[in-house]
Amino acid sequence: MDEDVRDSRPSALADSAPPSTYRGRFAPSPTGPLHFGSLVTAVGSYLEAKSRHGKWLIRIENLDRSRETTGASKEILGALEVFGMEWDGKVIYQSGRNKVYQAALTLLEKQGLIYSCFCSRKEIADSSIVGIEGPIYPGTCRGNLGNEEQPGARRIRTDNRLIEFKDGLRGRVRQRLERDIGDFVLRRADGIFAYQLAVAVDDADQGITHVVRGEDLLSSTSRQIYLQKLLGYSTPSYMHLPVVVNAQGEKLSKQTHAAPVPTSDPVSQLVMAIRFLGQTPPAELTESDITSFWQWATRNWKSEKIPQKILPPRERASNQGKM
Ligand code: GLU
């Protein structure tokens, strides 16, 4: 496995903590350097973990190496270090785990749930109803269920049983996969495993008990729970944080040309990140050092203050001076 060589380092925050079974994680895709949106997600998951004396693991989600930016993983890890965020254990890279994902796919194949699909994007778009995440696959290739593996994408058959979970911020979330999403791809025709399968496998392998991530992934969770159940994994708790948007209301990302988060004054960025998450640090915290920042933030972290509704950037900017 392609792994980071650094070992786990003792956390400055773990001092006299009682033992905890909490295992959280941050799972960035290395499509570019850390931007403010990913910093917010990292900080939210870190504080949830550290305020409960839990572990915090890192996984680099680089399944599709063509989308990876050279050096981005290193830059992201380097930035996390500058921000004083200490992770536990070795960093896991999805690019080195195809065998593990294939083993999971084989288990699902044995349950008679996987079929090969040869539809093009256009065919799917032309013959589908549009659901919450684009076209709902109409099941055109379901007739291949039970056939030998053929070239093409590998899809999993879904059903209409209710999948329900309680999100830490959003409360009860319900989906019926066949109706809301459709049969979904677990391995693309080019052999690349899909995020939904990899994340279910990796969260289980890393023993993750609490997933804290951006709300853009809220509607993926039911697919992951479906896979966890079929693969005999336990289901972690979920909390989906508000995502940072730009002036056009788009999520910050490489596609929306998000700027790298400046690392020259890490404490001010961290203070902005926790303010975005509804926390109310004293003005002097901006002048403090990283260790004092994390001490304050860990002791005073209140997830119930995280806003569910994101203020448009203009309102947010005018609110920031008031804290
Ligand atoms: N790799 C995903 C991202 O960077 C996050 C996946 C997850 O947290 O499940 O948006």
Q: State how far the Cα of 282 lies from the Cα of 305, in Å rounded to an integer.
A: 15
Ligand 1 center to 148 CA (angstroms): 32
CATH number of the domain that residue 37 is part of = 3.40.50.620
Judge whether 56 and 17 are in contact, CB under 8 Å. no
The boundaries of the domain holding residue 170 are 99-196
Least confident of 17-26, 289-298, 307-316: 307-316
Q: Please give the distance, rounded to the nearest whole angstrom, from the Cα atom of residue 225 to the centre of ligand 1.
A: 16
Q: Which pLDDT tens digit goes with each residue over 240-261?
A: 999 988 888 888 887 777 889 9
Asked whether 48 lines ligand 1 (CB < 6 A), one says no
pLDDT in tens, 104-163: 999 999 999 999 999 988 888 887 788 888 889 999 999 998 878 788 999 999 999 999
The minimum-distance atom of ligand 1 relative to the CA of 28 is: 4
Answer yes or no: is 6 within a domain. no
Residue 15 forms part of a structural domain: no
Residue 207 one-letter amino acid = G
Q: How crowded is residue 323: how many other Cβ atoms within 10 Å of its Cβ?
A: 11
User: How far, in Å, CA of 273 to CA of 37, rounded?
Assistant: 8
Residue 277: burial class (beta carbons within 10 Å; 0-12, 13-18, 19+): buried
**Residue 8: other Cβ atoms inside 10 A:** 12
The CA 41 to ligand 1 mean position distance, Å, reads: 9
Which residue type, as a one-letter code, is found at position 151? P
Please identify which residue in the block is written with the tokens 């999971």. Answer: 104
Domain match, 77 and 216 both: yes
Which atom from ligand 1 is nearest to the alpha carbon of 203? 9
At residue 17, does pLDDT exceed 80?
no
Q: Is residue 227 in contact with ligand 1, taking CB distance under 6 Å? A: no
Q: What's the token pair of residue 19? A: 């033992």
Q: What is the pLDDT of residue 147?
A: 79
Q: What type of residue sits at position 140?
A: T
- The closest residue, in CA terms, to atom 6 on ligand 1 is 27
Q: What is the pLDDT of residues 179-235, one digit of tens each?
A: 999 999 999 999 999 999 999 999 999 999 999 999 999 999 999 999 999 999 999
Strands 134-136 and 129-131, by their bridges, are antiparallel
